[in-house]
Structure 1
Amino acid sequence: MSRPLRIPHPTTPLHVYRHLLREASYLIPIARPFVDEQIKARFRKHRDDDAEKSRQRLRQAHHELRALRAANAGDMARMRRVLLRAFGRVGRRRRELMADLVRRETPANTEELAKYAAETSAIAAERKLDWLDRWDVDKLRTFARSQVEANLINSPKPPLTAPQTSPQKHIPAENSWGRPLPRRLARTKLKKLWKMVADKCMPPLPKEEWERLGGLAEGRLQAQEQDLRWLPPPRRPVAQSRSGDDVPGSRIWDWRSYVVKPVARVDRQANRRNKLLSGAVDDNTPTGDPEPLGCHKYTARSWRRMLESIWQLTATMEKKPQGQGWKVVWGKASFQPTAASAENMEFFTDFPAVQELQPPRKRRS
């Protein structure tokens, strides 16, 4: 993996927009469409901002650009964060997937429409309709309970417990003075508990995308698939000036900065912890420019393991035939032991065959 280049602070939105799109082209193909769409959408949304907001957006975009470059250069923690955003585990896409999860289905026939109208009119007769009335609470409860049973590992959200999937049971019938709890207060508490459940849920992905991610994680896709191009193309070399000012060793040592400022502050950009973010080169080390900390070399195996950890946090949700509930399937890693090599097969030649275990007999009472 090539080292990221040192980028000057952008002065125009078009400058940082161009660099962001170029850096996104080094991502794996399965995560690239969402990142490209998000960059373009944000640029179109804030292209008419005033000067003060534009400066703030430039600083924020430059921060995101440095993080994306560090992820492509070998920072696995930042690359995992990019994948979590791309597959809707955090960020804007997660909010969009959650909105699709809790949205009520459009009535398919006249009977369902009449039933929905009767329920809405009954609620409107007692109180004012709120955002929780537009949620499909039964669907959200079913998915939340399946997430509890899945027992997710390394989830970016706090764990969800089984009692939290039934918020109505946690609403007290009386207040601290022993009086009946007001309806408005009970409704407020119920909305707060359902919001907490939604904040901890990992929303389902579309089935096609979920199967595609699972095929990459388990290595079931063929080699000719485009998504198996794990390694990005090499970066173009940096343009060199004809005068020789950009040649290493030709720069003049700025000794005044070391006199006025602390050494740690002057060499902060070239620190091993910050080199993946800044792209700076340490010219003061006698043994040469040291490698940055936390820099890993991406391989096909490391990509599969990272995608497998993301796949275990995703699920697909389909409605059962004849409206009998929902079917939720979570990504689950299948353990397959490696076959012994030809040199080690001699240790298994005389090993007895494994006999099928008979189920235990029930004792007579």
Structure 2
Amino acid sequence: MSRPLRIPRPQTPLHLYRHLLREASYLPPLARLFVDNQIRDRFEKDRKDDEEEGTKHIRKARHELRVLRAANCGDLTRMRRVLLRAFGRVGRRRRELMTDLLHREVPTNTEELEQYAAAASALAALDRPLDWLDNWDVEKLRTFARSQVQAGLINPPKAPITVNQTSPDKLIPSENAWGRPLAAKPARTKLRNLWKSVADKCMPPLPKEEWETLGEIAEGKMQEQWLPPHRRPVARGMSGDVQGARTWDWQSYAIKPVAVVDRPANRRNKLLSGTVDDNTPTGDPQPIDCHKYTARSWRRLLGNVWRLSPIMEQKPDGRGGWNIAWGKVDFQAAQATPASFEFFGDFPDAGEPKIGGKGRT
């Protein structure tokens, strides 16, 4: 899309709900499932609120509608944010995936059951009350955090994890500010805060099937059924205009600064507001940073999300441990077209590179 949509603003909560579902239908099918479920869950959860809370939720839903509409119209920054939320890199789904990551695995054999019972007995013998950190699988989180450090993520939505942060036990000082031994309670508080900081920076693993599908799209191995559908034309009235005749709101110009009144029609805000600029003599100008989506651009967007997503499986040898794989798109140089071969035909073959010595290249 090259211009903002000229769709009437929804007036009722049900109308707003339908607009949100309609905008979500133009997302890639792999990302649409989570967005649809989130819209339905929030609508069912908030429909019984009082008037004050309902007004706040409607205001927030209208903002989300503008964000979805701008993303579908060609705003790459907002579309990337929508995809990060849909695949659990940020937001609500990330918290759900992190809950699965931190949950202790159920023992499946006698040896694991004995280890679980020994760990539970050790916790019960401690001279302190149990807290939420005791319910976390700390070793599993440590293994995953170290894997994320080695993966070297590019442009993650969270701050990167350092190697020292994967061992919070070593970061707790042995003495306080007065040179005395650190008490058990503040030491435990520091340990909880350090582990919480590590968990807040993790990119949790995706389900294997979803991760593999995302990888096939990023590597170009899947057919184009994963592409979002084309937008249907907007219904028009008998006059030929979607929103009817627009009148000049001279009262706003009389009591407000011109910059404030014209701000929604600014080229930087047109995709988000959907406002039409009728004051420019050459016609409604094009919005800034408006991208036309193609199959290649979709693969790049989903490939960036795939590089931030891992899968995590237990090793089949029964000795414990985890196999963690991160998305990685191999670089493939583009082939020269037949019309460009004439520029490379006279160059000699480079041959095998020399190793060692002064002639190394």
Aligned pair partner of 1:293 in 276, 284, 288: 288
Q: Name the counterpart of 1:89.
A: 89
Kindly indicate whether the alpha-carbon contact (under 8 Å) linking 1:10 and 1:58 is maintained by their aligned counterparts in 2.
Answer: no
1:51-95 Cα deviation digits (max 9, x unpaired)? 111110000000000010000001000000000001110000101
- 1:325 equivalent in structure 2: 321
Residues 122 and 246 of structure 1, relative CA distance in 2, 3 Å threshold? closer
2:209 corresponds to 1:212: no
**CA shift digits 1:203-251 (9 cap, x unpaired):** 111111111111111111134xx21x24x3233234325598955xx54
Distance in 2 (CA, whole Å) between partners of 1:185 and 1:123 is 18
Match of 2:124 in 1: 124
Structure 1 residue 359: deviation in Å?
9.0
Shift of residue 11 of structure 1? Answer: 3.9
* Percentage identity across paired residues of the two chains: 64
* Whole-angstrom distance in 1 between the partners of 2:87 and 2:44: 22
Measure the CA separation in 2 of the matches of 1:252 and 1:356.
72
> TM-score, normalized by length of structure 2?
0.91
**1:293/1:243 Cα in 2 relative to 1: closer, same or farther (>3 Å)?**
closer
Maintained 8 Å contact 2:271/2:287: yes
Query: 1:81-230, aligned counterparts within 5 Å?
Result: 81-126=81-126, 127-223=128-224, 226-227=225-226, 229-230=227-228
Task: Identify the range of structure 1 (78-87 vs 214-223) with the bigger mean alpha-carbon deviation.
Answer: 214-223
Trace 1:42-53 onto structure 2 (pairs within 5 A): 42-53=42-53
Number of residue equivalences: 354
Q: 2:236 aligned with 1:239, yes or no?
A: yes
Q: Say which SS state the counterpart of residue 325 (structure 2) adopts.
A: strand
The alignment partner of 1:175 has SS state of: coil
How far off its partner does 1:350 sit? 6.1
The answer to whether the Cα contact below 8 Å between 2:31 and 2:83 also exists between their aligned partners in 1 is yes
- Maintained 8 Å contact 2:20/2:39: yes
Choose which of 234, 252, 262 in structure 2 pairs with 1:267.
Answer: 262
Partners of 2:124 and 2:52 in 1: CA distance? 45
Are the aligned partners of 1:7 and 1:278 in contact in 2 as well (CA < 8 Å)? no
CA 1:235 to 1:117, structure 2 compared with 1: closer, same or farther past 3 Å? same
How far apart are 1:12 and its partner, in Å?
2.8
What SS does the corresponding residue of 1:65 show, helix, strand or coil? helix
Task: Specify whether residues 112 and 251 from structure 1 end up closer, same or farther in structure 2 by C-alpha distance, changes over 3 A only.
Answer: closer
Aligned twin of 2:37: 37
Map Cα deviations across residues 239-283 of structure 1 (whole Å, 9 max, x no partner).
325598955xx5443333322222122222222122111211111
Give, in whole Å, the separation in 2 of the partners of 1:87 and 1:157: 14
* TM-aligned CA deviation for residue 129 of structure 1: 1.6
Pair 4,52 (structure 1): closer, same or farther in 2 beyond 3 Å: same
Unaligned runs of 5+ in 1: 361-365
Residue among 313, 335, 339 paired with 1:339: 335
Greater CA deviation, 331-340 or 144-153? 331-340
Q: Which residue of 2 aligns with 1:277?
A: 272
**Contact 2:3 / 2:286 at 8 angstroms: preserved in 1?**
no
So what's the TM-score if we normalise by structure 1? 0.90
Residue type matched to 1:162 in 2? V
CA contact (8 A) 2:310 2:327 kept: yes
Structure 2 counterpart of 1:302, from 297, 302, 321: 297
Deviation at 1:125, TM superposition (A): 2.4
CA–CA distance in structure 1, aligned partners of residues 279 and 11 of structure 2: 30
- 1: distance between equivalents of 2:7 and 2:105? 49
